C-alpha cells in the first residue's frame, strides 16, 4: 500500500518541486537578465577617465591645499581664514558669471601666478608660488601660440572651470 502511494506521493512532490525549481529558474533567469541590463547600463555610463579629468582631480587637491583656507572648501569664499582679511575672498564658483558667462583661462592663471598683480591688484589674494613648482607643459593659448606653463597652474584652472555655476557660455584663452 505504502509502496503504491509512494511513487504517487513522490510523483506529487516531484512535480511540486519541479514547479518550484522551474519558477526559481525563471526567477533566476529574470534576475540574470535584470543584472545584465543593469550591468550594461552601468558599464556604458561609467565615464572614461580622460586626461582632463585627471587634471581636474589634481587641481582639486591643490585647491584644498593652497586656497580653501580663504576661499572655503566649496570655493564660495567662506574659508576659516576669511574673517582675518580686509577683503572678502571671491566666490570662485562665479568667476565666469562675473565676466558675463565667459571663462577666461589665461586671466585666471595670471591672477594665480601674479602676472596680473601690477595691473589689477587683488587685495589679500596672495601669489601662490608653489603653483610654479613642478613640470611645465605646453599650453595652446588658442591664438596660434603654444607656450610652456607650469602644469599645476593648468590643473587648478581646470578645476576652477569645472566648478563654475552656472557653466560658462563662452571660453577665451
Q: Least distance in Å: CB of 35 to ligand HEC?
A: 44
Cβ at position 132, least distance to ligand HEC in Å: 11
Residue placing its CB nearer to ligand HEC in the complex, 4 or 121: 121
Residue keyed to cell 500500500 = 1
Q: Which is nearer to ligand HEC, 78 or 137 (CB)?
A: 78
The neighbour count for residue 165, using CB atoms within 10 Å, is 11
Closer residue to ligand HEC, CB minimum distance, 28 or 169: 169
Q: Are strands 136-140 and 146-150 parallel, antiparallel or unpaired?
A: antiparallel
For residue 170, the cross-strand partners are 102
Query: How many whole angstroms separate alpha carbon 61 and alpha carbon 159?
Result: 9
Query: Cβ distance 115 to 104 under 8 Å?
Result: no
Helices (H), ranges, the chain: 2-45, 51-66, 68-71, 105-113, 151-162
- Tell me whether residue 92 or residue 105 sits nearer to ligand HEC (CB atom): 92
Name the residues that contact ligand HEC, by CB under 6 A.
66-67, 69-71, 81, 85, 87, 89-90, 92, 95, 98, 108, 111-112, 122-126, 128, 156
Q: How far is the CB of 73 from ligand HEC (least distance, A)?
A: 12
Amino acid at each position: 500500500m505504502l509502496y503504491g502511494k509512494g511513487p504517487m506521493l513522490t510523483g506529487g512532490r516531484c512535480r511540486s518541486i519541479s514547479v518550484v525549481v522551474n519558477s526559481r529558474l525563471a526567477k533566476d533567469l529574470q534576475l540574470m537578465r535584470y543584472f545584465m541590463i543593469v550591468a550594461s547600463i552601468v558599464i556604458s555610463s561609467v565615464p572614461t577617465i580622460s586626461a582632463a579629468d585627471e587634471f581636474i582631480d589634481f587641481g582639486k587637491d591643490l585647491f584644498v591645499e593652497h586656497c580653501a583656507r580663504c576661499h572655503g572648501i566649496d570655493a564660495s569664499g567662506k574659508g576659516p581664514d576669511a574673517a582675518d582679511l580686509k577683503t572678502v575672498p571671491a566666490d570662485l564658483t562665479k568667476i565666469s558669471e562675473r565676466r558675463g558667462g565667459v571663462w577666461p583661462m589665461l586671466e585666471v592663471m595670471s591672477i594665480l601666478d601674479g602676472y596680473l598683480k601690477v595691473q589689477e591688484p587683488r587685495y589679500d589674494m596672495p601669489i601662490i608660488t608653489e603653483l610654479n613648482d613642478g613640470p611645465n607643459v605646453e599650453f595652446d593659448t588658442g591664438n596660434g601660440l603654444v607656450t610652456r606653463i607650469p602644469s599645476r597652474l593648468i590643473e587648478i584652472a581646470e578645476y576652477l572651470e569645472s566648478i563654475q555655476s552656472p557653466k560658462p557660455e563662452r571660453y577665451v584663452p
